[in-house]
Amino acid sequence: RQAVYIAVGIATGLLLFRIRLAILERMGLTLLLLAYLMLLLVLVPGVGVEVNGAVRWVNAGLFRLQVSEPAKLCFIIYLASYLARHGEEVRTHVSGFIKPIGLLAIASLLLLMEPDFGATVVLAATVMGMIFMAGVKLLQFSGVLGLAGLSLAGMAVSSPYRMERLTTFLNPWADPFDSGFQLTQSLIAIGRGEWFGVGLGASIQKLFYLPEAHTDFVFAVLAEELGLLGVCVVIALYALLVWRAFVIAAQALQANNAFAAWLAYGLGIWFGLQSFINIGVNMGLLPTKGLTLPLMSYGGSSMLVMCAAVVLLLRADHETRCTAEGLSASGIAAAKRAKVHR
C-alpha cells in the first residue's frame, strides 16, 4: 500500500511540476480558504474520523486523509504569495506583520480543536521562520514569538493529557509500562542498534513492542536495524535537503523570483523542523508529538504532500535557472517589477 502511495505521489508530482509558480501565486488566497475549509470539515460530526481520541482525518475513499498535511502546504503557498506581494509592508509596517499572524491564529485554533498540537507547533514555527527571513523588525518578531510561546505553554500545562506527555518525556522510566511505555520502547530500539544495527528487517521492537512503529516511531526502528551509521546517513540526507532548499531560495531572491524564494524558504523550514521534532521525540529529547518523519513514515497523506513539496522545490529551482538564462521571472511581484523598470 505504501508503494502505491509513493507511485501516486510521484505521478502527482510530475503533473504539478508542469504548473508555473505564477499560477500558484495567483491561487494563494484560494489555497488559504481551501486550508480553512479542510480544517473545518474534519470537525463536522460524521465527516471527521476519530483515531486515538483525535479527529484529524476524513475518509477519502481509498485512504483516510489527514487534513493538517495539505492544509500546512496550502498555508505555506499563501504566505509565500503574501510575502512576495507585501514584503516591503512586512519589513516597514506592523500591519504587514500582524495580518499573517492573525490568519495563523485562526488556523492554529482549528488545529487545536482536533486536537493536533504537533501540527500547530510545526505550522506556527514555519510561518514565523518565513516572516523572520522576510526581514520583519526584530522587536515585533520577538514580542509575537514570546506571546506565542507563552500561549502554547499555557495550553500544554492546562491540559492534563499534554501535561502527562511533558512529565513522561522528562522521566519515562518512572512508569515504563504505562505512560512511558512508548518512549522507553523507542529508546530500547535505538540502544539495540549500537554502531551498525541488527540488520535490515531484523528489528524486534517493531514486532508489537513499539507502538506506532511504522508511523511516528519509524526512526527508532531504523536506528535499531541500521545503527548509528544509518542514523547519521538519514540525518545527513535531511540536512542536505534543507540546505538545498535554502540555496534555491537565495538564488531565487537574486533572480527577483520573490515567490519562489519565500516558497523554498518555507518548505525548507518545514522539512527541517518536522524532521528535527520527529527524531527528537524518538530519542527522548522532546515531548511526544504525533508527527510523521517526512518521506519515510507510513501514510498516504504525508507521502503525497511531501512529494508535492519536493516537486515545488524542483519547480522553484527550474524557474530560477530559466531566469538566470535570460527568460522572464515568474510571479505576480516579478511581473510588476518588470513593468516598473520598462
Query: Is the pLDDT assigned to residue 341 strictly greater than 50?
Result: no
* 271/77 Cα distance (integer angstroms): 14
Give the integer Cα–Cα distance in Å for 49 and 231: 34
- According to DSSP, the residues that pair with 57 across neighbouring strands are 49, 66
pLDDT of 104 = 94
Predicted TM-score (pTM) of this structure:
0.89
Q: Find cell 485562526 and name the residue.
A: 106
Residue 96: pLDDT band with limits 50, 70, 90: confident
Grid-cell match 500500500, residue found = 1
Of 179, 200, 79, nearest to 136 (Cα)? 79
Residues 52 and 212: beta-carbon distance below 8 Å:
no
Strand partners, 54: 51
Res. 339 pLDDT band, cuts 50 70 90: low
> 206-219, pLDDT tens digit by residue?
998 888 889 899 99
Quick one: pLDDT at residue 59?
84
- Widest CA span of the chain, in angstroms? 70
- More confident: 63 or 26: 26
